[in-house]
């Protein structure tokens, strides 16, 4: 209970300081905007400030993701995607290690059977041919797990590159593409189409 009270007090105090700071900024702006008889007040309402496009941003994001998975998304400030990447990589590595351990167990038992020993852990339950089949199955599963892990690593790089490209995509109101549906007046059928608007 005391911890909650301290957290709420700190939050309210920070909120009050930010409110006072905003009021101070408004007062400063009012003082600056007061025009004296010798000054002119110019208001420009048609200017839209756009962030400059960095053409190297997609390449930089892909490079960072190649060096360390998830670093490209951290560079793009998309932190929520990093756990998804590491969950995929972790699952792929887990299945690779698990299948590799099982492959080694069955391979060791198979080698002992071929050497003439009858003291392996599967003796009496799995035949020699069964050990060979299980060894091949776990070896194949191990290879698939490795391919999936490499694929997730490659997807991480591609994902960061595509996200960096899309962040620079023009989505303002001057360019729009909208579907429309219109009733044809001649035969009363419906017409479906796309409308492209470009304002400059």
Looking up tokens 């003291």 gives 119
The kind and range of the H/E element at 109 are helix 82-114
| pLDDT greater at residue 27 or residue 184 | 184
Residue 187 dihedral angles phi and psi, to the nearest 5°:
-115, 10
**Alpha carbon distance 54, 60 (integer Å):** 10
How many CB atoms neighbour CB 167 within 10 A? 16
Instruction: Sketch the domain layout of the chain as residue ranges.
Output: 76-169
**Alpha carbon distance 177, 54 (integer Å):** 25
Q: What percent of the chain stands above pLDDT 70?
A: 68
Cα 193 from chain centre: 33
What local confidence, expressed as pLDDT, does residue 167 receive?
Answer: 83
Mean pLDDT calculated for residue range 159-183: 77
Give the pair of three-digit tokens for residue 3: 């911890």
- Residue 189 CA: distances (Å) to CA of 6, 181, 182, 183, 185: 67, 10, 9, 6, 8
Contact yes or no for 110/135 (Cβ under 8 A): yes
**Alpha carbon distance 72, 52 (integer Å):** 20
Mean pLDDT calculated for residue range 29-34: 50
**Distance between start and end Cα atoms, the chain:** 59
Give the pair of three-digit tokens for residue 190: 């419906």
Q: Choose among 170, 195, 191: nearest CA to 181.
A: 191
Residue 181: pLDDT over 80: no
Residues 6+ apart with CB under 8 A from 180: 192, 193, 194, 195
Task: Give residue-wise pLDDT tens across range 38-80.
Answer: 445 454 555 555 666 777 789 999 999 999 999 999 999 999 9
Task: Give residue-wise pLDDT tens across range 123-151.
Answer: 888 888 998 999 999 999 999 999 999 99
Q: How many helices (H) and strands (E) does the chain have?
A: 5, 2
């Amino acid at each position: 209970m005391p911890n909650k009270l301290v957290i709420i007090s700190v939050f309210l105090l920070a909120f009050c300081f930010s409110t006072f700071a905003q009021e101070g900024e408004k007062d400063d702006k009012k003082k600056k905007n007061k025009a004296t008889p010798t000054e002119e007040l110019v208001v420009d309402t048609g200017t839209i400030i756009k962030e400059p496009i960095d053409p190297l941003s997609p390449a930089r994001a892909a490079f960072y993701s190649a060096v360390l998975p998830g670093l490209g998304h951290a560079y793009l400030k998309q932190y929520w995607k990093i756990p998804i990447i590491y969950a995929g990589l972790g699952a792929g590595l887990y299945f690779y290690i698990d299948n590799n351990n099982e492959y080694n167990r069955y391979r060791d038992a198979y080698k002992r059977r071929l050497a003439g020993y009858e003291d392996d852990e599967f003796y009496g339950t799995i035949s020699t041919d069964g050990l060979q089949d299980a060894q091949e199955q776990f070896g194949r599963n191990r290879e698939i797990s490795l391919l999936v892990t490499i694929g997730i690593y490659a997807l991480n790089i591609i994902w960061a590159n595509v996200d960096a490209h899309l962040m620079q995509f023009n989505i303002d109101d001057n360019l729009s593409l909208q579907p429309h549906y219109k009733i044809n007046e001649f035969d009363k059928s419906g017409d479906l189409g796309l409308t492209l608007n470009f304002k400059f």
